Every structure is written in structure tokens, then in C-alpha cells.
Amino acid sequence: MAYLLPSEFVTKMVDAGESKVLMSTRDTVIRAYMAGAILALAAVFAVTVTVQTGYPIIGAILFPVGFCMLYLLGFDLLTGVFVLTPLALIDKRPGVTLKGVLRNWGLVFAGNFLGAFTVALLMAIVFTFGFSTEPDKVGSIIAGIGEKRTLGYAQYGAAGMLTVFVRGMLCNWMVSTGVVGAMISTSVTGKVVAMWMPIMVFFGMTFEHSIVNMFLFPSAMLMGGDFSIMDYIIWNELPVVLGNLVGGLAFTGLTLYATHIRTAAKRSVR
């Protein structure tokens, strides 16, 4: 499957981070919008399959199809640029600045949210027959997820905040490993296999992914979820975004860069 050595694919990670920082505003937003929309559709698909079969593991097995589609098409998720763009800054690539990295994050966040919200609105129309009826079974479950993952954390106070943050960290450890998986092989089959495994783990473990949540929570609110916008922002989106940043960068980006690009000196044998 045309496997690349770690030193080769980590160099590709740095190259990708550089290209994303230097990308035009138009292209950055378009690619982020489509990524958010496709991932949201994959989330609907996974929840629908879970409801139809009664087995959450089947939804987890099939969810990565959306992730694979969007990365094969060259689109960008916030969870991915959190890992790749800082590496280009650390590597001192020409033209890459902290301001440029933060600009990229802001644009990708906005594009991801707009794409996910578009699908949330369209699927809410489908689930409620144009808001003329109560949501169907899948819609009701999505609305329930919104309440459970906001008010469910809030009732535990600081412990709940810590929990959602850690679940965000663990999520992007796996998701960013999937991003790297797209660079491990030069064949479509190899890329898909390498991406599929960690994404299945993240979804099956119900970790917190900021872009999936950009679909779940607005969708739940559109269908009568009993929580507020501030509940969503404070008790989910903000701590999840921060957790995604820390987990992906610490466990995936920096570790791979440190040991495959900035390697330590070899031991001397006497």
C-alpha cells in the first residue's frame, strides 16, 4: 500500500501545515465549509444506523466514511489544522507566523461551523417534515444528545468541565492520528485504512469532537432541545475546542515531530 517512513510522512505534515497557513482566505473557508458539512452528514448517518440496528458499534464502524471522504477531497477540519499548522511555525517555515496560524484556525472554525450548521438546518427540516411535526426517532435522539452533553456536564460543576476537556483531548489524539493516516500511504486504499482505525475508536468511545458538535447541538436546538446557546458554548464547545487543541498537538503533532524530525543524538557505544 505504498507505505511511507515516519520521517517522510512527518515532513509531509510540516509541509501541509505551511501550505494551510499560506492558503488564501477564500480557499480556506470553502474547504473548511465542505469538511464541516460532510462530517455532519456522516454523524447523521452513524446515528441513523445505530437507531436502525440497535448497535452503537455499527455506527462507529461506519462513521469514518465521512472523514475519509473529506480528507481524500482535500478539505480541512479544525482538529486537523490544530496539529499541522503549529508544526510549520516550530519548524520556522518562511512566511509562517503565529498570527498566520491563528488566522487559519479562525477561518477554519468559521467554515466548519457554517458547513455543520447548514446540514443541521437541512436535517432538522427532514426530521420534522419542514418543522410541521415533532422530530422522528433519529431527530429525538440527536436532541437528547445535545442535552446530555451540556446539562449533563454542568450538573457536576468543575468535575464536569474537566471531564469534557479530557474527552476533547482523547478525541483529537485519535482524530489527528487519522489526519496523519492520510499521509502514511500514497494509495487510496492505504490512506483509507490508516484513517479508518483511529476515527472508529474516537466515535465508538463517544469522545468529544468540536466539529461533530457543531452539528449535534444546533440541530438539537432547532428541534426543541432543552438547553441554551450559552449552555452549549460554555459546557461543550469551548472546553472541547481547547481539549481538541491540547490533545492533538501534545499526543500526535509534537511527539511525531520531536522523534522523527528533531531526533536526539544517537548514543555512543564504547
pLDDT in tens, the chain (270 residues): 588 999 999 999 999 999 999 999 999 999 999 999 999 999 999 999 999 999 999 999 999 999 999 999 999 999 999 999 999 999 999 999 999 999 999 999 999 999 999 999 999 999 999 999 999 999 999 888 888 889 899 999 999 999 999 999 999 999 999 999 999 999 999 999 999 999 999 999 999 999 999 999 999 999 988 889 999 999 999 999 999 999 999 999 999 999 999 887 788 777
First-to-last CA distance in the chain? 40
Alpha carbon of residue 163 to chain centroid: 18
The span from the CA of 88 to the CA of 11, in Å, is: 10
Distance CA 175, CA 192 (A): 13
Is 89 buried (19+), middle (13-18) or exposed (0-12) by CB count in 10 A? middle
**Residue 12: closest CA among 265, 248, 190, 261:** 261
C-beta neighbour count of 55 within 10 angstroms: 11
Give the three cell numbers for residue 252.
500526535
249 neighbors 83 (Cβ within 8 angstroms)? yes
All residues at 6 or more sequence positions from 140 whose CB lies less than 8 Å from its CB, including other chains: 134, 223
pTM: 0.95
Q: Is 126 helix (H, G, I), strand (E, B) or coil?
A: helix
Per the CB < 8 A criterion, the answer to whether 119 and 34 are in contact is no
